[in-house]
Structure 1
Amino acid sequence: MKTTALRTHRLVRTLSLVWLGIVTLAGCSILSTGERLSPTAKPENFQNTQLIGVDLVNALMQVPGKHPQQTVISMERPASTFATALKQVLENSGYGLRIGNGQLDGEALQYAIEPKAVEGDGRHYTYMISVGDVKMKRDYFVQQQGVTPSSNLFVIGTDPTRIALNDDIFENQRSQTLNQSGKDIIADTSTVNAETVVVSKTRDTRVTPPIRVADASDATSQALPITSKAGPGFEKPVTRLNMYETRESNYAEFLTDYSEVHKEILIFPNDSMRLGDLNKSRIQAIASNLQSESDVVSVIGCSHGRTKLENGNEVLATGRAKRVMEAFLYAGVEESRVLEEGCWSSQYFDEEMPRRGVVVTVKRNT
């Protein structure tokens, strides 16, 4: 893939204690070698499944000690679309594979797929893989016409600050899927040794997130917290209504004593939830200027007018808000201080909200 496809990198968030407990205590049932799919929920499009494999293998290649030149992987003979895709991507990436039943040399590959919510003509899935003591999972929104990540990458067993994701592959998925490997999107690997993979790029856009691991070997036995500012101490509503219909914020009652101190509109590409480098840097700047004792951030995802996606306005509005919220979490802002919600309609609403953006407002308790 061209170097220009390497410009957008997403930072990796560490795994929560809840999921960590599930994996370590019930690994055989969750990270099994089979797929947990209902008969009607399988993402049959092979290109979609292969792209997910490319994304996960790209992350695996950046884990110290898991580079293809250092790792032999064992797996059972593929009996599913995802297993077939993983096998192909691993081979294209240069991993040595041992395939068959029973005890095999190499680090065992385990995987699972868990179906989530249905949205329009698509569905959300959680894809999970483990190789040795490293486990990863990520959510994806799968449709016949394409696949889009719908969460961060969650990792245990290694220092997550080493891993950078390239979500540009999902924007360009129609052109370069079939013969891709993880190494096509990771960047130009210039030096490899037993401890780390040194990655060189024309431009490195990674920003070290507010996550620190004193000893990466301890990562499998503890939750790795995100440094954060104190939250306002209130619970978010379980159900958030469409602001286009209510004409007021879901947090209106809570925000009675708050006043607006800063406001920005982040514009997204058409029919896309891709945040982009410019929006990420603007979010980082906003987060760095927050007053920890009194400020909250209102995040309103918007999608108004025509879209090529079925039920796309709601999906885009809520998805964009979620992406911006995640970026604030990476910047060290506590989740309870980011008030995300959506405003969507097939009708234009230009007098109040942007057509394809997110309204970010810093509010201060006065």
Structure 2
Amino acid sequence: MEEGDTPIDVARVQLQKSLQAYQQGDFVSARTLAISAYLDGFEMAENSLDSLDVHLRQATERELLGLRAQLNADSDPQQVEDQVEAILQQLAQAEALMEDSNLSGAALFIASLVILLREGLEALLVVIALTTILVKTGRRDALKFVHLGWIGAFAAGFATWVAAQSVITISGASREVMEGVAALLAAMVLFYVGFWMHSKTQASEWQKYIQDSINRSLSTGALWGIAGLAFIAVYREIFETILFYQSLLAQTSESQYNTLWGGIVAGVALLAVVGFALMRYSVSLPIGKFFSATTYVLLALSFVLAGKAVAALQEAAWIAISPLPVQFSIDWLGIYSTWQGLGLQATILVAALWLMRKGGATAEAAGKAA
């Protein structure tokens, strides 16, 4: 983004360049520029626009993502021109709305608060789950690996942001690929950990684990794996959060800085309260109930991150977008109306239900045997 350019400006310019490339028959460049119009431009304004007109944000996003599929030799040039013109009008609406409101104090506070809550809650849940697992297994000495992971993520996130400002340029596509791959990796690891924890929900299994496996299972390699999971979960959220706040700051006047920081402070306070409550509640739970509850949390996080991973990779054009006939989205659950995302999430859901059913049958058999 050039100095002084707003996200809407970037989206508009890249979209117009995309249409020019399409008209010249350079379809590869046309698609690349269309991707940039969304990722390097409009996406950076989404949080601000959400607080003003969520329906306009959703419609514009849908049109920008859908345009990519039309930028080929088989499409109707007039239809492509009409679609680009429609998107330009939507961008003009968004720009006028944001300028007229000048991001009111309430809208700015809400946007600032929501960014931190949305990006921070997932990372917080992962770190708390890992911390509590170690406490419950009597390995408080290993907590340093979790702390190493999330502290390292903060340092790496800040270093990446500094590098992006002064040394390298991180494109929107590169950002989405990084976030998508990290989310997919985290989803896989969380599902595996959830599966492992479910197998320990029965008291007999837990006692056997304590007696035979704890030292081996929590070897140095596994502990570094825990540190790695904490790093991945926190880093992707920090990096995205910094970018969104950078964009929000560009739309904020000096007189509104206190409001922006007020939203950040409120978000930190809410996350701290949630974190404290979760830690206190989870540590006091009996071991069987703790493992059972944490299993649901980790499998749910796996479900959410899988959906977000697919969405990020679709936005970066690494995965095709096959929309459902009905358009909808539930951001906090990572649910979006594409066959690819819902297909992966359905697979995770079916596997989780099978896991629960199998665990219930095992518990019933153990009860009869007793």
Global fold match (TM > 0.5)? no
**What range is the shorter-chain TM-score in?**
under 0.3
TM normalised by structure 1 equals: 0.25
- Specify the structure having the higher radius of gyration (Cα): 2
TM normalised by structure 2 equals: 0.24
Structure with greater proportional strand content: 1
Structure with greater proportional helix content: 2
